[in-house]
Amino acid sequence: MPENYELSAKLLAWYDVSAREFPWRIGPAEKRGGAISDPYAVWLSEIMLQQTTTAAVEKYFAKFLSRWPRISDLAAAADAEVMAAWAGLGYYARARSLLKCARMIASEFDGEFPGDKESLMTLPGIGPYTASAIAAIAFDRPETVVDGNVERVMSRMHAVTGPIAKAKRELRRCAERLTPRQRPGDYAQAVMDLGATICKPRSPKCESCPWRLNCKAFSSGLQNRIPEKTTKARRPVRRGVVYVGIRQDGALLLERRPETGLLGGMLGWPGCEWNDGEQARPPCAGAWKDSGRTVQHAFTHFELQLRVVTGKMPENSIPQQGAFVPAGEFNPADLPSVMRKVYEAAAPELNLP
């Protein structure tokens, strides 16, 4: 039993009436009715939620589950189809790991997720946090789940000063002392909900918090100063040129990016390396011109500026980079966000739909 059983019980009582509703979550009322969590749904949601908001994930989760309702279905899917379905969600290495993991579970675990953290961590794309979350939420194992919300809650509860980045071990120990053996899955979701809805980064709603009387930051009036903010370094700017070309028959010139690296495995427009903004020649002979438009896109570690060049080519054109895709086989929704921005910038020049 954790040191602060009373606190865990308080939080679970709050969660029983205040739990957020998500398509991947089995809520307290459903559990009381006998419903159990599907490990596949929990895993899928946890991978999608890495560095992505719940609002952005909900429609993707529903689309994936509708198209591939079982992990065996996902394991059998074509790479290109899964990457296209993931387009726009970002952090595309997650999609590649998703496929590898699904296939490993299908081939080595008879299509069933292992329930313990150690075994889960042997799977592609599953690290300590995700393994703990799946073990706790899907299998009710007493694992401690610590994300950014939980770190913020713990830092205020224990008045841990300084930036969170320097106090992660201490905050994990604080979280471990609170993790109960009873209902650990509900508790893991409860403490994350508390951070997301009550113990917010700005203007926490302390008056509604079930832990306010035990919170050291609240009792000291420091809830708006803890955790300490850190100054983020300005992201560097990278530049590039991207070529959007259309053949006389309406086919578009596209390329599949290499499996490794940024936007790995995704469909996109040919172009140069994102560093100096120049390329010696277009990817195919034709009538090319600068559109006068520049697309800007923010990645995690840098800002990208892409100069958009458009071109028209005869029907017998042979590209040196990329391949022509018939208009009827192309869907802009299959492009990652930055490449979709390029499409929208080029559309007026090429009379694209």
- Residues with catalytic function: 46
| Residue 97, both tokens | 């790991």
β 237-247/303-313 pair status: parallel
* Calpha distance 95→87 (Å, rounded): 9
Cβ 152 vs Cβ 226: under 8 Å: no
Distance CA 106, CA 103 (A): 5
Per the CB < 8 A criterion, the answer to whether 274 and 348 are in contact is no
185-204 as b/e, with b when 16 or more CB fall inside 10 Å?
Answer: bbbbbbbbbbbbebbeeeeb
Sign of CA dihedral 248, 250, 251, 252: positive
For the chain, the maximum distance between any two Cα atoms, rounded to a whole number of angstroms, is: 75
